[in-house]
Amino acid sequence: MRAAERAAMDAGTSEWELMQRAGEGAAQWIARVAAGRPVTVLCGPGNNGGDGYVIADTLSKKGYQVQVIAPREPGTATAQLARAHFAVEVEAEGQLRNPVVVDCLFGYGLARQVEGKFKDLLKKLSINHCYKIAIDVPSGIESDTGSVLGPLPQYDLTLALGAWKQAHGLMPATASMGARRLVPIGLDLEGFTSTMSARPSFAAPAPDAHKYRRGLLAIVAGAMPGASLLAAEAAMLAGAGYVKLLSEHPWPNAPADLVVAKDVNEALDDARNSALLFGPGAARDDVARCRLAQVLEKRKPTVLDADALHLLDPDMLEGADATKLCITPHEGELAKLCDAFGVTADSKLDRVRLLRDVTGLTVLAKGPDTILAGGATTRFFPRGSSWLSVAGTGDVLAGIVASRLAGHGDPLRACEEGVWLHQEAARLASPAFSASDLARAVKPAMASFL
Ligand SMILES: NC(=O)C1=CN([C@@H]2O[C@H](COP(=O)(O)OP(=O)(O)OC[C@H]3O[C@@H](n4cnc5c(N)ncnc54)[C@H](O)[C@@H]3O)[C@@H](O)[C@H]2O)[C@@H](O)CC1
Ligand SMILES: [K+]
Domain containing 124: what range?
A: 2-192
Which tens digit of pLDDT belongs to each residue from 347-386?
999 999 999 999 999 999 999 999 999 999 999 999 899 9
Which tens digit of pLDDT belongs to each residue from 71-83?
999 999 999 999 9
Q: What is the mean pLDDT of the chain?
A: 96
Mean pLDDT of 99-109: 98
Q: Model ipTM?
A: 0.97
The pTM is what? 0.94
Q: 216 C-alpha vs ligand 2 centroid, how far in Å?
A: 49
pLDDT at 252: 74
Distance CA 232, CA 230 (A): 5
pLDDT at 399: 98
Same domain? 134 vs 237: no
Q: Which atom of ligand 1 is nearest to the CA of 139?
A: 18
Same domain? 257 vs 188: no
User: Which residue among 160, 192, 224 closes a domain?
Assistant: 192
Sheet holding 259-261, edge to edge: 194-196, 377-380, 371-374, 362-365, 325-327, 302-304, 275-278, 216-220, 242-246, 259-261
Does 237 carry a binding-site annotation?
Answer: no
Which residue in 117, 110, 103 sits closest to 55, CA to CA?
Answer: 103
3-state secondary structure of 28: helix
CATH code, domain carrying 46: 3.40.50.10260
pLDDT higher at 194 or 412: 412
Mean pLDDT of 240-253: 89
pLDDT at 234: 98
pLDDT at 251: 75
Mean pLDDT of 51-67: 97
Determine which residue's CA is closest to atom 42 belonging to ligand 1: 19
Q: 106, 45 in Cβ contact below 8 A?
A: no
**Rg of the chain over CA atoms, in angstroms?**
25
Whether residue 254 is predicted with pLDDT greater than 90 in this model: the reply is no
pLDDT at 190: 87
Q: What is the pLDDT confidence band of residue 193, given thresholds at 50, 70 and 90?
A: confident
**366 inside domain:** yes
Ligand 1 binding pocket includes 140 (Cβ within 6 Å): no
**203 inside domain:** no
Mean pLDDT of 136-163: 97
Mean pLDDT of 140-147: 95
User: Which residue among 158, 192, 226 closes a domain?
Assistant: 192
Ligand 1 binding pocket includes 107 (Cβ within 6 Å): yes
**257 inside domain:** yes
**205 inside domain:** no
Same domain? 135 vs 280: no
What is the domain count for the chain? 2
